Structure formats: structure tokens, C-alpha cells
């Protein structure tokens, strides 16, 4: 494993204030939060959420921030209406949720279900919205916690998938998935993180070093797992880390999507 199994820290945190500006639309049989820049977009961001899903206010605000920086941003419902609510009681069983035991359709939240969602979003962005490979227009993947797994799984420019990846406090990532990436990857890591621990961070750095793709791992001291999307903005050190981690994503894509 390149990260430990998930825990309660994956759905605990603070809801942020703000009014999202995007829209929820249907792509295939699932919803997508779509937010557009003011000018025609030449580059896109596929934001792969944590387990709180595409309707979580914090995630929508971050998607809007990417759009305001010029990126057509897609954020799909990975869970077919079965996300985990913020601050769910501790008795909640994550493994049962992953297997789909808590929803009436028993839809699992595993790669066999989620990979096709990612693929369809990428296809939609490239065909309907014109982020075309042939025009050297590129799409970056952003993954928070749970979403990091799918940024890593789809980081393959040669196959017309994600051209560059950024993750914050990653979870659920298997070692073989990390070893298979084919493009640049940046990671915003929390010092106090039992999921992406010091041991797992060092293991990840070793693997990335062997692969030879452009990579960057920034460590934010004094903050916990979830800081980049669910951290308390009233605490200065957490808000600073959140903003800094977002700027890391912008700088990473400026270099590895736009090539400037």
C-alpha cells in the first residue's frame, strides 16, 4: 500500500462558508458538478472528491476556484447518491460502505464502478467540451483523500487520460497503482496523518523517484488529514496550509498542463 486503509478522519471536518456557482448536470447515468471559466477553456480539471461527494459545499467551492483560474472543471458523483455525510458517527463501518451495504441498490464504491465514471467524464470533456488531445489541450486530475486513488489510476497521458495529477492527503492508493503512473504527480501531505503516514510518504517518494516522472511532495506541518478540503478556516495555520496546497495545484498545472 502507498497509503494506509481509511479511517474516521476521512469524513471529519468543518463545512466552509460560500455559495457555489457551478451547476449539476447529468452525464450518462450519474450527476456531475460542472463549473466553467469566464473565457473559453483550453484546459480542464477533473476533480475527484473525497467520500463526502460532489454536493459537499467545500468541494464545490474548490471546483469553482479552479474554474476562476481558467479551467473547465468536472466533479462527478462517484457514489450514485451514496456519499458519507460530514462527521458521520464513529460506529459507521467504512468497509460495509465500500461494498455498497448501506444503499438500497447495493452499488459498491470500488474501481469496477468508479473507473467507468472517470473515463466517461474524460471523454465528455474532450469531445463535447473541446479539451482535445490533438490540439495539445490537457486535463489535470485533482484528488482529495479517496479521490487520490482515481487520479493515480488514470494518470496516463499516452492513453488520452489525465495529463498531470495533484493529490492532497491521499488515501486508498495501492502500491501497484502508484507504480503504474505515466505522468507528473504532485502531493500535498499533512504532517499529522495516520492514513498517509511518514512511512507511507517516504515509500511513495521512493517509488516516484524510481519512476522518473516529474514529481513534488510538499509537507504541511501542524495540520491533519483533510486539511486541504475540510480544515477549520478559523485556525490560521490550517487556512494557510489549505491555500498553499491549492496554489501548489495551480503551479503544478501551469507547468505540466500549460507548459509555462
Query: How many folded domains does the chain comprise?
Result: 1
Range of the domain at 128: 8-256
pTM of the predicted structure, to 2 decimals: 0.95
DSSP string across 109-163: -SHHHHHHHHHHHHHHHHHTS---GGGT--EEEEEETTHHHHHHHTB-GGGTSBS
pLDDT digits (tens, 9 = 90+) for 213-231: 999 999 999 999 999 999 9
pLDDT digits (tens, 9 = 90+) for 51-85: 999 999 999 999 999 999 999 999 999 999 999 99
Q: Is residue 31 part of a domain?
A: yes
Contact between 122 and 25 under an 8 Å Cβ cutoff? The reply is no
CA distance 260 to 253: 9
Q: Is residue 251 part of a domain?
A: yes
Contact between 184 and 164 under an 8 Å Cβ cutoff? The reply is yes
Check residue 1 and give its pLDDT. 43
Q: Is residue 157 part of a domain?
A: yes
CA distance 90 to 239: 26
Contact between 3 and 171 under an 8 Å Cβ cutoff? The reply is yes
Q: Is residue 131 part of a domain?
A: yes
Among the listed residues 107, 111, 162, the one whose alpha carbon sits nearest the alpha carbon of residue 133: 162
Collect all residues with Cβ–Cβ distance below 8 Å to 211 and sequence separation of at least 6: 179, 181
Q: Is residue 17 part of a domain?
A: yes
Check residue 9 and give its pLDDT. 63
Q: The CATH number of the domain where 224 resides is what?
A: 3.40.50.1820
Among the listed residues 142, 139, 113, 133, the one whose alpha carbon sits nearest the alpha carbon of residue 50: 142
Which residues of the chain carry a pLDDT beneath 50? 1
Q: Is residue 1 part of a domain?
A: no
- Residues annotated as catalytic (active site), given as ranges: 145, 193, 225
Check residue 134 and give its pLDDT. 64
Among the listed residues 165, 175, 93, 161, the one whose alpha carbon sits nearest the alpha carbon of residue 125: 161
Q: Is residue 3 part of a domain?
A: no
Amino acid at each position: 500500500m502507498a497509503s494506509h486503509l481509511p479511517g474516521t478522519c476521512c469524513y471529519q471536518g468543518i463545512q466552509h462558508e460560500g455559495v457555489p456557482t457551478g451547476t449539476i448536470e447529468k452525464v450518462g447515468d450519474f450527476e456531475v458538478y460542472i463549473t466553467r471559466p469566464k473565457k473559453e477553456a483550453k484546459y480542464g480539471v477533473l476533480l475527484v472528491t473525497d467520500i463526502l461527494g460532489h454536493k459537499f459545499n467545500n468541494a464545490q467551492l474548490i471546483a469553482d476556484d479552479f474554474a476562476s483560474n481558467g479551467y473547465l472543471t468536472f466533479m462527478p458523483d462517484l457514489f450514485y447518491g451514496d456519499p458519507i455525510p460530514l462527521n458521520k458517527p464513529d460506529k459507521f463501518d467504512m468497509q460495509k460502505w465500500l461494498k455498497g451495504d448501506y444503499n438500497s441498490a447495493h452499488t459498491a464504491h470500488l474501481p469496477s464502478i468508479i473507473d467507468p465514471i472517470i473515463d466517461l467524464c474524460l471523454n465528455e470533456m474532450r469531445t463535447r467540451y473541446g479539451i482535445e488531445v490533438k490540439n495539445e489541450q490537457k486535463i489535470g486530475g485533482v484528488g482529495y483523500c479517496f479521490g487520490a486513488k482515481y487520479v493515480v489510476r488514470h494518470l496516463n497521458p499516452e492513453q488520452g487520460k489525465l495529463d498531470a495529477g495533484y493529490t492532497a492527503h491521499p488515501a486508498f492508493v495501492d502500491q501497484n497503482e502508484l507504480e503504474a503512473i505515466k505522468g507528473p504527480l504532485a502531493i500535498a501531505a499533512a504532517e499529522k496523518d495516520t492514513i498517509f503516514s511518514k512511512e507511507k510518504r517516504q515509500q511513495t517518494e521512493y517509488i516516484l523517484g524510481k519512476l522518473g516522472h516529474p514529481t513534488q511532495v510538499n509537507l504541511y506541518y501542524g495540520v491533519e488529514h483533510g486539511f486541504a478540503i475540510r480544515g477549520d478556516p478559523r485556525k490560521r495555520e490550517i487556512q494557510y496550509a489549505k491555500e498553499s496546497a491549492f496554489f501548489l495545484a495551480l503551479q503544478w498545472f501551469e507547468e505540466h498542463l500549460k507548459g509555462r
